[in-house]
Amino acid sequence: MSGRWLAGGLVVFAAAFAVALYYAQNYAFYDEIEAEAVEIAGTSYPVSEFRGIDASTSPLKLRACFRMAAEPDAPVAPAPVPLVAPGWFDCFDAEALARALAAGEATAYMAAAEEFDGADRVVARFADGRAYMWRQLNEKFAE
């Protein structure tokens, strides 16, 4: 067998594996979710225009965008860090949301502390009613 065929086969295998891995990370395990209300600190708030994704493979895959008329009566999240969503879920821009939270344009609320082992659910709301939801690691896994 020629070394050229072996090297070519390895390159083809690596490319196919890379495509499969990209698909698995960005598309395969996500499910679209629907909601008419979001629970924040034990209180249910009605929402509209809800778009959300989640996965059973990890609690950190939750992302949602929606409108919420009422200001939540909940504790402020101590260190909100929006996690990046897959590129195809375009309503959730984690970097823009992080900038808005740092500038005080949005407020992040602790929706559910320790919803999963080591993961808190956070909801951020702008004054105009736009709201976003995600899960993030808490101090249990901060290191």
Q: Where are the domains of the chain?
A: 32-141
Residue with tokens 């209180």: 43
User: What are the pLDDT digits (tens) for 35-79?
Assistant: 999 999 999 999 999 999 998 888 899 999 999 998 999 999 999
Q: How far apart are CA 111 and CA 72, in angstroms?
A: 9
Which helix (H) or strand (E) segment holds residue 15: the answer is helix 3-23
Please give the pLDDT value at position 142: 65
Residue type, 87: G
User: What are the pLDDT digits (tens) for 102-140?
Assistant: 999 999 999 999 898 889 999 999 999 999 999 999 887
Please give the pLDDT value at position 143: 60
Rg over alpha carbons for the chain, rounded to the nearest Å, is 19
Is 111 within 8 Å of 43 (Cβ atoms)? no
Is 106 within 8 Å of 126 (Cβ atoms)? yes
Is 133 within 8 Å of 66 (Cβ atoms)? yes
Is 30 within 8 Å of 55 (Cβ atoms)? yes
Residue type, 112: A
Residue 15 φ/ψ, nearest 5 degrees: -65, -45
